[in-house]
Structures are given as C-alpha cells and as structure tokens.
C-alpha cells in the first residue's frame, strides 16, 4: 500500500496523481484501512480545491463519495484518540457547502468578539425565513448564546424569549452538549429577572430534563476555606423550576421533571427543601403514602413550622392526627403573619371534637391577628363562629393544649428514635427570669427545657435528638419511678445523714457520698433518698441531684 506516497502527493498539490494512486489501492484492497484513509483525505483536499474555484456541485459529489469510506477507516478497532477525526472533517466540509456559510462564519466571529446584535439579527432572519440549513445550526446556536449572555441585563423580556425560541428550534445541535447547558444557564438568569413573564417550567420541559451533562451534576468549590459549594447546574435548574411554579401557585409538575426531581433528591440529600417539594408534588398526584413518609423524614431533620402544617394538610384521613400536627406547628416559634390560618384550622377541628371553649380561643386569636394585619377574615371564620354557643367563654390560651395534643404526631414522626428514662431534677428561673427545668438522663446527659413542654411528672420517658452536639427534647411522657431509676447506674440509694457546718449551712452524706445543702430542701435527717453522683477530682463522689 502507498498511503505515504499518496500523502506526499497531496501535500505537494499533485491531487490528480494522488487520486489515481489512491483509487488503484482501493480497487486492489477495498476493505483495507489505509487504502480507505488515503482516498478519503485525497477526496477531502479535492473538494476544498473545487470550493475555492466555486464548483459547489462538484464538491458535493465528492462528499457523497467520502461518506462510505468512514466505516472502513474506523474498522481497525483501535481506540485511537482521533478516531472521530474523519467525521469531524466531513462535517466541516459539509458546513462549507451550505448557503450563507461565509456570512454565518463572519457573524460567529463577530459574536465571539462581543459584537452580538447584528450577528443575532442576521441569524434570526435566516431562522424565521427557513434559510438556515441544519449543518450551520450549532454555529447559529453559539451566536444566539453570545447575544443572550452579553445582552441579558438589557434586552426586554419578549426579545429574550424570542431568542430562546429561535435556539430551541435548531434541530442540528447535539444534546447533551456544552452549548445546550450554557443556554440553560442564561435561561435561569433570565427567568430570575423576568419572573412570571418567562415560563421557565415550560422552557425546561422543552429543553429536556434528561439532557444534563455529567459536569452539570457536579458542585464546584468556592474560595479556599469556604465551607459551602456552588450548587450544581441541575440543582439550580430544579430550584428555579419550583420557584416559578410557586409564583403560579401550582405544585403540579411534568412527568419528566418529577423523574429529574427524584434523582436530584437522591443525589443531594443535604437539600431537604427539594425533598419537601417532591413530597408536596406527590401529594398533589395522589400518592399520599409516599408523601407522608417523605414529610415524616423532613420533620425529623427540618425543624420548621410549615413542615408540620403541611403534614396536617396531608392527614385528610385521620383528623386526630391533623389536629395533633396543627398543635405541633403552633407550639413552635412562628411569625405572626403565618399563624392566623393555622389558628382558624385548629379552631375548626377543636369545635368538631366538641371543645368549644378551646375552639373559641383559637378563633379569637385568628380574629385578632387578621385585624392587626389589616387582612380580611375567611368566610369559614363566620361559619364556625355561628356553630359555637353564644354563652361560651374562651380559654385564656391553649399553650398547654398544644403540648399535650402534639404528642401523637411527634411520636409518629420520631417513632424510630428509642425512648430513654429521664428525671426532672430541678426547676428554677434563669438569668432572664424564664422558667427552666433540668432533665437528667443516664450517662450524665442533661438538657434544659421549658416546664410547659413537660408533663406534670418527675419521672419521664423521653426522646431526645442530638442536633449537631446540642440535645433537643422531642417527646416526654410520664413514667413510673421504678421503671426509671434502675437505668441510672451512677445513682446511690440510702439514708441521708444531715450535718450543719460553720455559718449554719447544711450538707449531708448518703452512703459516704457528699450531698450539697442546696439539694436537701424538704429532706429530713434519716430519710431514704436516691441521688445521682459524679466523680470529683479528689476521687470522691458528690451528689448532683436527688431523684
């Protein structure tokens, strides 16, 4: 074979001789890789030579002769880095054959240099009149992207949306691709700027939720030492889709977007808000069981009142649990402008149960908040007000009711967390004058909570969440002393011997353990008591609480 000789003839401009030698080789060995390569590149040079002389039809004929050679050229099976070079070369040649190629090339160069208005207008005209052939679509797509990127802060909404529509009409652009992803980036920016004027949800559905490149799923590092990352493009796109739907007060998502959202929730578990919107969308579609499960997981990790309020709305089949979820939501710190409807909803449920005084308390709170904010009252308020007897006196407040009635939903949400024994060892007022209770647990763990969150009992079974090293009380139920005390391995039970020191201060001992006088209030000499102890630096044990 004479591949090298053919190459030398081509490089020296002796194309006819190169062609004759290449044809001789291919006729002798039609399936030989090197013979096919020699003829392909010879035809390639001949086609460009014809184009230089203006012989477009002759060049087109040569292109059609080149196509069948590519499979033979790639038949070696070698994983060569430039294996797709013939296809790229042929695509380049085909572009040169297209009408307006030179004009599109010039427009592309100008757009890359930042002069985008005239190039875009030229391309838009070709698209509108159907004169832009498919081999030039990618160059046209880049021109549109440069125009949108450079003019995004200046162009009006209609022009931006028209430019994106022109881009989406181009069928010759590979997807996924860098260009396709960059168009999505600029579309997100435009959506944030234009709000409801730009239907981003519809755009993403047309763009194609399955067209993200692998890099679009990767987060990028911020500056060195910064704890957070730049979100991945897919995260940003999903969040913007949801944001637009929120503007429309619509939680119905397309099938394609639901599939994408499922993937994003699994890939980025640190984004609980995305799981929340997936749950709400599933509820809208009628998948209550999965929606409840997802919202249960959210309530465990995302301590927000609106998660519990949304849980209440999901319990359409269990009104007691709905009431419980409303009570839990109202027991949390909630801005006033978000609580009024929850008070009205809870009032409705309490009246349904026959608790008219408590229901009236909720309705009065609702009325006060609506009037304070200058907002109109719901017709449901008037309807419910008529159901409550006129002589009903409202309760002063329902805070204790919130704590008690919230227990069922809290137990359901945190059912996977085991209960553990605990003892209320002290109640006092802190430096701000607020009532505080100290709750001790086995192993020396303790936490401080508001007494209103605890039942009226000294011995408890509690669920506690370790929230980044900070203990948070989730549930508390009364328990029997004999069920709780044995769990405290550091406890000591015995008769207390009370003594008096200098200045009249009392102290005592139980089985040799020192008991500070502060703990002995209400305890008489000789009483049998149980104390919790801790080891002191000198090796002796000291009482920390009487249980």
Look at residue 79 in the predicted model and tell me its pLDDT. Answer: 58
pLDDT tops 70 at residue 226: no
CATH topology classification for 418-482: OB fold (Dihydrolipoamide Acetyltransferase, E2P) (2.40.50)
Q: Are 150 and 114 in contact (CB under 8 A)?
A: yes
Residue-range domain boundaries for the chain: 3-97, 235-400, 418-482, 490-546
Kindly report, residue by residue over 90-114, the tens digit of the pLDDT: 889 989 999 999 999 999 999 999 9
Look at residue 444 in the predicted model and tell me its pLDDT. Answer: 78
Kindly report, residue by residue over 423-433, the tens digit of the pLDDT: 988 888 888 88
What is the three-class DSSP state of 515? strand
**Closest-CA residue to 326 (of 314, 336, 337):** 314
Q: Average pLDDT in the 499-526 region?
A: 85
- 379 vs 80 pLDDT, higher one: 379
For β-strands 528-535 and 541-546, DSSP reports them as antiparallel
Look at residue 287 in the predicted model and tell me its pLDDT. Answer: 93
CA 189 to chain centre: 18
User: Of the CATH numbers 2.40.128, 2.60.40, 2.40.50, 3.40.50, which one belongs to the domain with range 490-546?
Assistant: 2.40.50
- 86 vs 144 pLDDT, higher one: 144
What would be the CATH architecture of the domain defined by 235-400?
Alpha Horseshoe (1.25)
pLDDT tops 90 at residue 48: no
Q: Average pLDDT in the 244-268 region?
A: 92
Look at residue 77 in the predicted model and tell me its pLDDT. Answer: 56
Do the domains at 235-400 and 490-546 have one common CATH topology? no
CA 68, 72, 74: angle at the middle one, nearest 5? 115
Task: Give 544: exposed, middle or buried? Use CB within 10 Å, 0-12, 13-18, 19+.
Answer: buried
**3-state per-residue secondary structure call for 239-261:** HHHHHHHHHCCCCCCCHHHHHHH
Give percent of the chain above pLDDT 90. Answer: 49
Kindly report, residue by residue over 391-413, the tens digit of the pLDDT: 999 999 998 899 889 989 988 99
Q: What is the pTM of this model?
A: 0.76
Look at residue 255 in the predicted model and tell me its pLDDT. Answer: 94
Most confidently predicted of 286-300, 329-343, 509-523, 524-538: 286-300
Q: Are 162 and 118 in contact (CB under 8 A)?
A: no
**Integer-rounded Cα radius of gyration of the chain:** 38
Model confidence at 297, pLDDT cuts 50, 70, 90, reads very high
* Mean pLDDT, the chain, whole residue set: 89
């Amino acid at each position: 074979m004479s591949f090298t000789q053919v190459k030398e003839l081509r490089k020296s401009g002796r194309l006819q001789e190169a062609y004759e030698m290449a044809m001789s080789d291919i006729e002798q060995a039609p399936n030989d890789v090197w013979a096919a390569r020699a003829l392909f590149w010879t035809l390639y040079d001949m086609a460009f030579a014809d184009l230089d002389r203006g012989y477009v039809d002759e060049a087109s004929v040569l292109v059609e002769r080149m196509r069948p050679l590519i499979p033979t050229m790639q038949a070696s099976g070698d994983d060569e880095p430039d294996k797709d070079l013939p296809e790229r070369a042929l695509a380049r040649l085909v572009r040169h054959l297209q009408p307006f190629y030179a004009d599109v090339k010039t427009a592309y160069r100008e757009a890359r240099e930042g002069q985008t208005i005239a190039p875009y207008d030229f391309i838009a005209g070709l698209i509108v009149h159907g004169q832009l052939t498919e081999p030039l679509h990618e160059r046209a797509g880049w021109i549109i992207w440069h125009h949108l990127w450079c003019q995004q802060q200046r162009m009006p909404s209609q022009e931006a949306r028209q430019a994106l529509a022109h881009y989406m009409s181009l069928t010759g652009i590979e997807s996924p691709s860098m260009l396709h992803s960059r168009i999505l980036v600029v579309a997100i920016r435009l959506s944030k700027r234009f709000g409801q004027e730009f239907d981003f949800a519809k755009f993403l559905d047309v763009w194609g939720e399955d067209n993200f490149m692998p890099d679009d799923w990767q987060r990028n590092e911020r500056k060195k030492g910064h704890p957070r990352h730049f979100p991945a493009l897919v995260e940003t796109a999903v969040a913007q889709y949801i944001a637009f739907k929120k503007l429309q007060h619509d939680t119905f998502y397309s099938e394609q977007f639901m599939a994408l959202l499922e993937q994003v929730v699994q890939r980025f578990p640190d984004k609980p808000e995305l799981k929340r919107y997936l749950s709400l969308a599933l509820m809208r579609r009628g998948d209550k069981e999965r929606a409840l499960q997802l919202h249960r997981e959210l309530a465990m990790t995302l301590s927000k009142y609106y998660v519990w309020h949304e849980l209440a709305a999901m319990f359409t089949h269990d009104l007691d649990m709905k009431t419980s979820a409303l009570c839990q939501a109202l027991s949390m710190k909630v801005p006033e402008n978000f609580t009024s409807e929850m008070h009205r909803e809870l009032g409705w449920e309490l009246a349904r149960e026959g608790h008219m005084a408590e229901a009236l308390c909720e309705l009065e709170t609702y009325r006060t908040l609506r009037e304070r904010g200058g907002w109109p009252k719901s017709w449901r308020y008037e309807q419910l007000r008529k159901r409550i007897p006129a002589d009903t006196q409202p309760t002063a407040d329902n805070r204790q009711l919130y704590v008690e009635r919230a227990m069922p939903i809290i137990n359901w949400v945190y059912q996977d967390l085991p209960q553990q024994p605990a003892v209320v060892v002290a109640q006092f007022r802190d430096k701000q004058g607020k009532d505080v209770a100290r709750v001790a647990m086995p192993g020396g763990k303790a936490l401080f909570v508001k007494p209103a969150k605890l039942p009226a009992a000294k011995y408890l079974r509690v669920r506690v969440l370790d929230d980044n090293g900070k203990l948070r009380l989730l549930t508390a139920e009364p328990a029997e002393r004999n069920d709780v005390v044995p769990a405290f391995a550091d406890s000591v039970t015995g008769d207390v011997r009370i003594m008096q020191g200098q200045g009249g201060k009392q102290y005592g001992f139980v089985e040799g353990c020192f008991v500070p006088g502060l703990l002995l209030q209400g305890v008489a000499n000789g009483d049998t008591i149980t104390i919790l102890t801790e080891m002191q630096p000198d090796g002796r044990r000291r009482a920390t609480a009487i249980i």
